[in-house]
Amino acid sequence: MKIAPSILSADFAQLKNEIKKIESGGADWVHIDTMDGHFVPNLSFGAPIVKSIRPHTALTLDCHLMVENPENYVKDFADAGADIISFHIESTAHAHRTIQMIRSHEMKAGIVINPATPVSAISEVLGLVDLVLVMTVNPGFGGQSFISETVSKIKELNTLKDDNGWNYEIEVDGGINDETAKVCLEAGATVLVAGSYVYGASNAGEQISKLKQSVK
């Protein structure tokens, strides 16, 4: 199981140190939440932050775009040094084209579904993506409670992966703690995003170990 702490809950004035903390704590990826104030009712940060982080870590930069028309940002994120770009199926009419665009910039492509979106909405692209991100909260804010109705979609994606010989990662995002992590593991998740659980405690590194322990 990979752990991808979300820097949305980090201290932005100390970003370099905040990344070092999770790196030494055993994080596998850095999860970067971009919000545009349109697709979600909040603003966060974009490609310039990815560019500033890039020289300070060798960890995979896992960029979660919560923006309308994500295709408009692919080049900027590639130039900034992103490794993975995931975008929401609800955010564009051109999912197939956007996946191709991400791939043509030599990044991995992920597709994201909101809690109210069924797996069937992404069935046509499941064979093309490197990652499927199942939102386990409604996107836009850190620190929300896990929506347990989403667990059946993790299971469904896991079954589809086995049945079709696909090999996408199944990432879960929102309300992850040492309890919900177990539920997601059992359902077939392979990557856990955790924001407030990691950065909300005094020792971020220790929180990662606790999370890893809970899914052993």
**Contacting residues for 13 by C-beta, under 8 A, at least 6 apart:** none
Q: Which is nearer to Zn ion, 159 or 204 (CB)?
A: 204
**Contacting residues for 113 by C-beta, under 8 A, at least 6 apart:** 88, 89, 90, 119, 121, 122, 132, 133, 134, 135, 153
Phi, psi (degrees; rounded to nearest 5) at 6? -95, 125
Among the listed residues 33, 62, 83, 130, the single catalytic one is 33
Query: Binding residue for Zn ion (CB under 5 A) from 173, 184, 204, 212?
Result: 173
- Rg of the chain's alpha carbons, rounded to an integer? 16
Shortest Cβ 174–ligand DX5 spacing (Å):
4
Q: Which is nearer to Zn ion, 130 or 173 (CB)?
A: 173
Site residues for Zn ion, 84-123, by CB under 5 A, read none
Q: Which two tokens stand for residue 51?
A: 């560019």
Shortest Cβ 22–ligand DX5 spacing (Å):
13
Residue with tokens 């010989």: 165
Among the listed residues 36, 62, 173, 178, the single catalytic one is 173
Shortest Cβ 39–ligand DX5 spacing (Å):
10
- Measured between alpha carbons, how far apart are the two ends of the chain, in Å? 8
Query: Binding residue for Zn ion (CB under 5 A) from 22, 29, 32, 33?
Result: 33
**Using CB under 6 A as the criterion, which residues of the chain lie in contact with ligand DX5 when the complex forms?**
6, 8-9, 31, 33, 64, 137, 139-144, 173-176, 193-197
With CB atoms as reference, the residue minimizing the distance to ligand DX5 is 195
Residue (of 96, 92, 94) closest to 126 by Cα position: 96
Query: Binding residue for Zn ion (CB under 5 A) from 7, 9, 30, 64?
Result: 64
**Which residues form the catalytic set?**
33, 173
